[in-house]
Structures are given as structure tokens and as C-alpha cells.
């Protein structure tokens, strides 16, 4: 089991920030990443659809021999995580719980800000998770939809990024949050500009970082870590043509993106079902 890979999926390219942290924490591990680029974004889809897509991807990654599954998409973590955990026997980790735990531990004033896409904010997933840990914490949410195109365009350190961050985060600063959760996988790319706007007294919680630490903890606990001296291999799959994913992915990973292959999940599922009936 230890020699199997870590499976990671997202609706698109944002989950590469989670993969980057997993590789940093566990350089000896193989990873398999799947970006569902043909059906992105998940935030505008119904919960039933997101669960269906997530199940399809989980089955595909399990067929590639993985030992743990990371749901690197905030929408899928909010909507599909429990369904996946009930259906599959391997450990499955979402990005919301690790971020919520870190925020609850970090806050001193008891006032936590959460920024995310409109869908993540509307789901109240982080609020619920933080309040399960400590009901006394006040959670202030703010949707920051323009952060995603800024991150993908590489506009992370210019006047446009600063002005956008200033407008989005002004209310959270006024409310006096002392901890801010980056509740979207794209947002770590903008971490510097967000920190600049919020000021040094506000702790930023990177869900990607916390998720990687959670994965490392689970694998260590279950004796599933590969030997430290090994060097992991990384495989990338998408459900649409790879060109756009490669362009943005290289930006997210600092040019370290390897070959990217296109897969047809429906076809894979049909072939699997045929094999099972034979």
C-alpha cells in the first residue's frame, strides 16, 4: 500500500496549489492529479451533479491505484466529501476541515474571516466547520470572485491585484478579524498581496498547506509513507484539451508541470462496467 500514489482532484487548475503543498510536505510520494476542465466550474452546478462528478473522478483515480484521495475543490469538499467517504474505503481528505481547524486554533480575538468563491461562501461550509470546533467564534464571509481570473492571468503583484484586494477585504478589516482563511485553491497565488492589504496582525490560513499536513499525518498514522530517500513521480490528467491547463499550471507550479494527458471519464466508466459484467 505504501508504494501507491496520492490521488488529488479539482474542478480545474486551482487544486495544483494543494498538490504543490503535498509535494513540499511529502517529496517522496507519487501523485496523480485530475482536473475536470471539461466541466469546470463546479460552483454553479447542483449538489447532485457535483456528487456525481466527484464519484466518477474518485472511481477513475482508484482504478489508478491510489492510497489516499484529496478533494482539492472547495465546492466538492463542501457538497460531496461525506458521500465519497461513505462509498470508498481509502482515506479521503477535503480542504475545508483542515483550514477550519487551523483558523480556530489561530484566532485570539474569536473573529475569523473567510474568503472564497460565491458558491463556497453561499454554502457556509467553513462557517459550519469552524463553529463545530468552537461555537463562540464569529465568522465573517466575503466572496472574492475576481481573485480566480487574476491568479490564472498571473496578475498577482500589480496595481489591479492590490486595488481588487483592497476593495474586497476592506469590510473584513473593518470588522476586526485577526485570522483570514484563504477558502479557494486559487487564493494562495495571491497570498502576498492579501497579506499586504490585511496587515501583519492578521494570520492567513492557507487551506492547501493545512490539507497537505493532514494528508501527511494520516499516511504516517497508517504506516503508508514511502521511505524518505525516495523521489516521487507526478502524473497529470484533464478532461478537456490540456493547452489552457498547461499554461496556467506552469504558472502555479513555477514551470514544473510535466506531461498532461486528456481522459474521457464517461468512456472509462463504461469500459469498467463492461469489464465487471464479463
Which residues are identified as catalytic? 73, 184
Rounded-to-integer distance, Cα 83 and Cα 87, Å: 6
Grid cell at residue 92: 479521503
Rounded-to-integer distance, Cα 235 and Cα 61, Å: 11
Strands 260-262 and 138-143 come out as unpaired
Helix axes 243-253, 16-25, angle to 10 degrees: 40
CA 197 distance to own-chain centroid: 23
Query: 190-221: string of b/e by CB count within 10 Å (b at 16+)?
Result: bbebbeebbeeebbbbbbbbbbbbbbbebbee
Sign of the torsion angle spanned by Cα atoms 270, 77, 79, 170: negative
Amino acid at each position: 500500500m505504501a508504494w501507491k500514489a496520492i490521488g488529488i482532484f479539482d474542478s480545474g487548475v486551482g487544486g495544483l496549489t494543494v498538490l504543490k503543498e503535498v509535494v513540499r510536505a511529502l517529496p517522496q510520494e507519487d501523485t496523480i492529479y485530475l482536473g475536470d476542465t471539461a466541466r469546470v466550474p463546479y460552483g454553479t452546478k447542483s449538489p447532485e451533479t457535483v456528487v456525481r462528478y466527484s464519484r466518477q473522478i474518485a472511481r477513475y483515480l482508484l482504478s489508478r491505484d491510489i492510497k489516499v484521495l484529496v478533494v482539492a475543490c472547495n465546492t466538492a469538499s463542501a457538497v460531496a466529501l461525506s458521500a465519497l467517504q461513505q462509498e470508498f474505503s481509502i482515506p479521503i481528505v477535503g480542504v475545508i476541515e483542515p483550514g477550519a481547524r487551523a483558523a480556530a486554533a489561530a484566532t485570539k480575538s474569536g473573529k475569523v474571516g473567510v474568503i472564497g468563491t460565491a458558491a463556497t461562501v453561499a454554502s457556509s461550509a467553513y462557517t459550519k466547520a469552524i463553529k463545530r470546533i468552537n461555537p463562540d467564534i464569529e465568522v465573517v464571509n466575503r466572496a472574492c470572485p475576481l481573485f480566480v481570473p487574476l491568479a490564472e492571468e498571473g496578475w498577482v503583484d500589480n496595481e489591479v491585484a492590490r486595488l481588487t484586494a483592497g476593495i474586497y477585504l476592506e469590510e473584513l478589516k473593518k470588522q476586526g478579524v485577526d485570522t483570514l482563511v484563504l477558502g479557494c485553491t486559487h487564493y494562495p497565488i495571491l497570498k502576498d498581496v492579501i497579506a499586504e492589504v490585511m496587515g501583519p496582525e492578521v494570520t492567513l490560513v492557507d487551506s492547501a498547506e493545512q490539507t497537505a499536513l493532514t494528508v501527511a499525518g494520516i499516511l504516517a498514522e497508517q504506516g503508508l509513507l514511502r521511505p524518505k530517500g525516495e523521489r516521487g513521480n507526478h502524473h497529470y490528467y484533464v478532461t478537456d484539451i490540456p493547452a489552457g491547463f498547461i499554461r496556467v499550471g506552469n504558472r502555479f507550479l513555477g514551470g514544473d508541470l510535466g506531461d498532461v494527458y486528456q481522459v474521457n471519464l464517461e468512456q472509462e466508466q463504461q469500459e469498467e462496467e463492461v469489464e465487471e459484467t464479463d
